[in-house]
């Protein structure tokens, strides 16, 4: 990216400035993050443009957009800065007990709401000054292949908008570190005492009013794919944008919904919503921590990955038992 002659006059802060402007797409917001004036950001961009021979960012009414050259450079700049941060963090070892660092974790709400409480409890004990931000990640619409559905989430973690992503994705590029946090499967969720608990047949399931979690309002999902294989359909009476909303609605209605098992284990009891065996196969996923391999050189991030693996909610199975009989796992149906 930079030739040998240029290295003698490189200001490392220019690469940091590039990274922040690329993430924010806005000079004013970048200035706030860097505690600089907007004019200082503009001056720095001018130096970068002269150095790299490209406009890099083009002004629009809503901020700036990166040029094709800037998009090409973004990954290299992120890798360079990650390596430097790793060197610095090695020189000054990360000490969780005294750190005041803030980590941003990106995850769908069905995952973040499972890991958050045990994570916070552990942080209070081992790293009381460390703060956490949760950023909701959503699958891209219109894709059934997981690597396409979660491509935007992968881009966010590579662009360093978030520190790590926790997503149901196995197929990640080789430049990423992937670590399985837990296994997740979907079950049928209903209010406690729902008639479907007594007659959980496929015919009855198709006759029920269904609730689907969809942030876009799309009524079609993986359940419909499985039903179509059997020549069957269902009525989607309601869509809601997240799992917490879904479980609160189920508590007061006769609707049924396919929800993550671990999510229900954590939150179902306080809503009197229970999980029962589905009368058709429902998906099972590995929930994985994903971040660039170069980011693991940052001892703070490496510590966070290890910590998450230690607090990954060991309780399981009780919410899919009924009348003392353990249901067979959904992935074996």
> Looking at residues 12-21, what average pLDDT do you find?
91
Domain annotation covers residue 75? yes
Range of the domain at 123: 102-179+291-310
Do 293 and 301 touch, CB atoms closer than 8 A?
Answer: no
196 and 278 share a domain?
yes
CATH number at residue 306: 3.40.190.10
Q: Is 253 helix (H, G, I), strand (E, B) or coil?
A: coil
Domain count, the chain: 3
**329 domain residue, yes or no:** no
Residues 174 and 136 in one domain: yes
Give the whole-angstrom CA distance, residue 121 versus residue 260: 23
Angle, helices 12-24/38-52, rounded to nearest 10 degrees: 110
- What is the pLDDT at residue 5? 47
Please say if the pLDDT value at position 266 is more than 60. Answer: yes
- % the chain with pLDDT above 70: 88
Q: Same structural domain for residues 17 and 106?
A: no
Q: Range with the lowest mean pLDDT among 39-48, 135-144, 279-288?
A: 135-144
What's the pLDDT band for 64 if we cut at 50, 70, 90? very high
Model confidence at 3, pLDDT cuts 50, 70, 90, reads very low
Of 39, 63, 91, the last residue of a domain is: 91
What does the pLDDT average to over 195-210? 95
Q: What are phi and psi of 87, to 5 degrees?
A: -65, -45
What are the contacts of 145-153 at 24+ separation with CB within 8 A?
A: 146/170, 146/171, 147/171, 147/172, 153/106, 153/290
Residues 123-154: tens digit of each pLDDT: 999 999 999 999 999 887 766 677 778 889 99
260 located within any domain = yes
Residue 321 inside a domain? The answer is: no
Residue 255 lies in a domain: yes
| 172 and 301 housed in the same domain | yes
* Mean pLDDT (whole number) for 200-207: 96
């Amino acid at each position: 990216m930079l030739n040998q002659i240029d290295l003698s006059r490189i200001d490392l802060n220019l690469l940091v400035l590039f990274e922040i402007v690329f993430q924010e797409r806005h000079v004013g917001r970048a200035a706030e993050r860097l505690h600089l004036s907007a004019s200082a950001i503009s001056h720095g961009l001018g130096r970068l443009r002269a150095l790299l021979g490209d406009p890099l960012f083009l002004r629009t009414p809503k901020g700036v957009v990166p040029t094709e050259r800037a998009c090409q450079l973004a990954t290299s700049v992120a890798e360079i800065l990650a390596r430097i941060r790793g060197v610095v963090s090695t020189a000054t070892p990360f000490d969780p007990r005294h750190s005041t660092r803030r980590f941003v974790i990106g995850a769908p709400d069905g995952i973040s709401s499972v890991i958050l409480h045990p994570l916070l409890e552990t942080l209070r004990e081992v790293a009381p000054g460390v703060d956490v931000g949760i950023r909701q990640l959503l699958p891209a619409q219109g894709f059934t292949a997981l690597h396409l559905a979660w491509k935007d989430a992968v881009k966010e973690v590579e662009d360093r908008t978030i520190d790590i992503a926790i997503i149901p994705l196995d197929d990640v590029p080789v430049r990423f570190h992937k670590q399985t946090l837990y296994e997740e499967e979907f079950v049928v969720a209903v209010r406690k005492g729902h008639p479907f608990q007594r007659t959980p047949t496929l015919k009855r399931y198709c006759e029920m009013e269904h609730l689907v979690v969809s942030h876009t309002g799309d009524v079609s999902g993986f359940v419909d794919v499985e039903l179509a294989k059997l020549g069957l359909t269902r009525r989607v009476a309601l869509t809601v944008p997240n799992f917490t909303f879904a479980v609160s609605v189920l508590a007061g209605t006769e609707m049924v919904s396919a929800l993550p098992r671990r999510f229900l284990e954590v939150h179902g009891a306080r809503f009197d919503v229970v999980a029962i065996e589905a009368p058709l196969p429902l998906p099972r996923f590995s929930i994985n921590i994903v971040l660039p391999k170069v980011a693991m050189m940052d001892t703070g991030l490496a510590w966070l990955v290890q910590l998450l693996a230690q607090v990954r909610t060991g309780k399981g199975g009780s919410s899919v038992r009924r009348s003392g009989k353990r249901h067979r796992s959904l992935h074996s149906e």
